[in-house]
Amino acid sequence: MSPAPVTADKIMDKLVSLAKRRGFVFQSSEIYGGLGSVWDYGPLGVELKKNIKERWWRSMVHEREDIEGLDAAILMHPKVWEASGHVAGFTDPLVDCKKCKNRFRADDPRIKGTPGQPDAQCPVCGSKGTLTAPRQFNLMFKTFMGPVEEQAAVIYLRPETAQGIYVNYLNVLQSSRQKIPFGIAQIGKAFRNEITPGNFIFRTREFEQMEMQFFVKPGTENEWFEFWRSERMKWVEGLGIRSDKLRWHQHDTDELAHYAKDAYDIQYEFPFGWQEFEGIHNRTDFDLSNHQKYAGKKLDYLDPKTNERFIPYVVETSAGADRTTLVVLCDAYREEEVGGAEAAEGSEQRVVLKLKPSLAPLKAAVFPLVNKDGMPELAHRIYDDLRRHFNVFYDDGGSIGRRYRRQDEAGTPFGITIDGQTTQDQTVTVRDRDTLKQDRVAAAQLVDYLTQKLAG
Ligand code: GAP
C-alpha cells in the first residue's frame, strides 16, 4: 500500500462527501436547502462523537477522584451572562455591505482597505466605499422565556458550558464533600451566532463542549495550569492523532478572552491550516468573583486546614466535541493504492479512515462470503453473538471487495468473513483494515480476539 497524493484544498470536499455517504454528518434541514453552519450526526457520526465524549468523561471524571461530573441546563438566569462579561464583551466587530447586504467580520482578510472609508472594497460584490464602519455584534443567541416577548423576558442560549459549572460550584463542593483543589466537568451544547462560520463542523452555530473547571488556591494556579496542559496533550495524543500535526499556541495579550489571564490552545494542522480545537485557560477568580458580586451570594471557600477564606482561582480545560471529532476524521482520512489479492486489476485506489479502533463507530463487519451453502446462517449466528459485546455490522451485499471498501470508508477496523472453511471447522478470517492482513480465528474466540485488539 502506498499513499496516493491528495491536494489539500480537495480534502475537505472529499471528507464532507464521505461523511454524508457513510452516514457520519449531514447538513441540518437539508431538504429545505440546509441551515447555515448547523450539522446533524448520522448513525456512524453519533457513535464516533459519543466514543470521543465517553473517552473524555472516563479520563476526566471516572479516573480521577478530584473531579465531579455535572449536567447543567442550557438556559440560565440572564444575570449570569452579565456577570460573566458575555453581555458586554462577547462580541465580534462586524461590517455590512450597503450594496449586496452581506455581513463580514471587520478583520476578514478578504476585505481590502478600511471599512467605513471610501477605499474599502466588499469582498463579495467588489463595490468600493459600501462597507459600513465596524460595530460590535454580540454572538449570543437570544430568546424569550414565557409567553411575552418583551425585554424583561430575554434569555440567552449559553455560549459556553463553563458558567453552569461556576453557578453550581458550591452545590457540588458541598454535596460531594470535595476539597480544593478539585474540578467539575461537563459535556453539553453551546450556541454562538458566529458571523463567519464554516469549514464543515469546525465552526458552527450549535456545538458541544467538553469543559472542566479546576478550582485551586490562589497562588497555585500556575502549577495546575502546567499540569493540565500536559494532561490534555496526553489525552489528545491518546486519540491516535499524529503528533507532528499537533502544536501549542500561546495567546498574545490581544487574543486573550475577556476572562483569561493566560491561555494556550492545542492546535491541529487541518487541511485549511493550523487551528485550535482545545484551550487551557487561567481564568483567575474572574468568574466566581463576578458571580459573588452580581448574585450577592458568598462564593468563597473556607480552607478547613488553615481556616483561610478565599475565592478559588480556576484553571479551565475547554474542548469542542465537534471540533475534536473533525480532528479525528481529518487525521484518519487516507487515500491509498492497494495491490495484492484485494485489488481486482493488480492495483486499486481506496479511501480509508484509519480511526483508532476503540474510537471507530463500528468495531467489525460480518460478511458471509456467498449467500448460500449455510454461510448466511452461520454469519448471522456470529453477528448476533458479537452484537452483545460490540457495535457490529452485517453486510451481504455485493462482492467481498466492495464490502471491504465500504467498511474502509466507515473506518471499521475488522472485517470478519464466513467462508467455506467456516462451515467445516468453525473458523473465520479476520481482515485488518490497516495492514489488510488476514488472521484465521476460531469463531468461539472472536469476542476475546476483538476485545484484545480494541483495547487502548
Ligand atoms: N469556556 C471557554 C471557551 O468556551 P473557547 O475557546 O471560546 O473557550 C473552547 O471555546 C472550544 O470550544 C474551542 O477550542 C472549540 O473546540 C469549541 N468551539 C468554540 N466555538 C465553536 C464553534 N463556533 N463551533 C464549534 N466549536 C466551537
Average pLDDT of the residues in 401-407: 95
Residues with CB under 6 A from ligand 1: 160, 162, 192, 194, 203-204, 207, 209, 211, 276-279, 316, 318-320, 322-323
Cα of 451 vs centre of ligand 1, distance in Å, is 34
What pLDDT does 152 receive? 85
Average pLDDT of the residues in 129-141: 95
pLDDT single digits (tens) 7-46: 556 899 999 999 999 999 999 999 999 998 999 999 999 9
Q: Which residue from 365, 416, 371, 415 is spatially nearest to 393, judged by alpha carbons?
A: 365
Position 171 pLDDT exceeds 70 = yes
pLDDT single digits (tens) 41-97: 999 999 999 999 999 999 999 999 999 999 999 999 999 999 999 999 999 999 999
Q: pLDDT class for 241, splitting at 50, 70, 90? A: very high
Question: Looking at ligand 1, which atom is closest to the CA of residue 211?
Answer: 1
User: What is the chain's Cα-based Rg?
Assistant: 26
Contact predicate 215/183, CB 8 Å:
yes
Amino acid at site 198: G
The C-alpha cell at 376 is 448466511
Burial 24-41 (b: 16+ CB within 10 A, else e): bbebbeeeeeeeebbbeb
Cα of 12 vs centre of ligand 1, distance in Å, is 20
Position 3 pLDDT exceeds 70 = no
pLDDT single digits (tens) 318-374: 999 999 999 999 999 999 998 877 877 778 899 999 999 999 999 999 999 999 999
Average pLDDT over the chain, rounded to whole? 95
Q: What percent of the chain clears pLDDT 90, i.e. is strictly above it? A: 90
167/291 Cα distance (integer angstroms): 7
pLDDT single digits (tens) 143-154: 999 988 888 889
Position 2 pLDDT exceeds 70 = no
The C-alpha cell at 296 is 450577592
Question: Looking at ligand 1, which atom is closest to the CA of residue 324?
Answer: 16
